[in-house]
Amino acid sequence: MAETLKTHVLIVGGGPGGYVAGIRCGQLGLDAVLVESAKLGGTCLNVGCIPSKAIIHVAGEFETMTHAAAQENKKGRHGISLSAAPKIEFAETVRWKDTVVKRLNTGVAGLLKRGKVRVVNGWANFSDAKTCSVKTPDGEVVIQAEHVILANGSMPVELPFLKFGGNVISSTEALALNAVPKKLVVVGAGYIGLELGIAFRKLGADVTVVEALDRILPLYDEQLVAPVAKWLQKNGVAVHLSAKAKGLAKDGKSLSVETKEGLRDFPADKILVTVGRRPNTEGWGLENMAIDMAGRFVKVDDQCRTSMRNVWAVGDLVGEPMLEHKAATQGEMVAEIISGKKRRFEPASIPAVCFTEPEIVSAGLLPAEAAAKGEVITALFPFMANGRALSMDSGDDGGFVRIVARKDDHRVLGIQAVGAHVSELSGEFSHALEMGALLEDVAGTIHVHPTLSEAYHEAALRALGHAIHI
């Protein structure tokens, strides 16, 4: 006989939107049950953000050692030389990555346990908006709730003519390979494809990128993308734009691509398909919940309420951007609203980071977007004039910090940067926008020397007409 649970809050999905909602429910004294079919932490912790950054870190270390051992450079790199080229045991790299993931998994489980949130392992299937059944290893559990928070997440988009399986892989499989592929073809030049493509190139793979559009990283403007394009060219990554993947070639080991020069076959040990993600809306009874949709996403208002009373949805399920920090913020907010607090999801910006080489960070409006709303000031400060960047040997990669502000009142509308380690500036950028900073506020804030943040300070000074170091 099925066990029946009655709870105040039912959370479906143990990713950042769901587990953060659960932890906050516990802090607020709300009785909550969380259902997760796989591992706690969701895509980001298990097969996305965290493991990919671990692999990117190792790739950077390997690249540095490779340069130090280069035969054409007898003095090594910065006075450091190796007598032999480094070797990579990628299976060991993956095992180390898994220890990082496991540590974070354990931490999430502990936080939920401390908050007295019951975790039910299995796949939730809804019969109506407030009732679901879960087949667990110990039997079926029926859960009835007053409030339901849907945090089902998303999954990689699969091309109908290039199904996942065998040598055709998604980012999930790419992060669990036993060895670095000799030849890797990446389909899609968005942030996931380029992050992983660049990492595998640093690890020694021969990488080819195929993109249907006429540019890489289409969410960013050409000025931001240029340093990444420069790195790709310098490091021998073949990029084919306006090129459409057609499917596996007759040999079953190559990718057929319609290029500007005609149909070509690109040999590949692995074909990594990264053409986006789609909300996880199938197979769990969404159609039984009488919830309105907004295209392929669940429709919500600025409090993450769906059209069904006391049913909420957060994260990738409700639309772009599909980012961990958006989902976590929404999950926390919904828990607080259920507890009686007054909250709305109206951030001044949702910053985004692309962990390419070099990194890109963007918060607020890009110059063209801001200019469409009125007259603006745009100013840029290059890292080639920043002492910290030069001391890290990253001042000559074309990186910079750029600030965009309204011309009439100097209100900051957007901040972007491209360069080594600029992801660590994202919080300061977002904070300035959230607080409604003026150019004068940024210019009047003392920034520590020597740090990359000085370039942000100098960009604001330059927008005001008096940069110091340029």
Annotated catalytic residue: which of 240, 421, 449, 457?
449
Decide if 449 is catalytic: yes
Query: In Å, how far are 373, 397, 402 from 228, measured between CA atoms?
Result: 29, 9, 16
Residues taking part in catalysis: 449
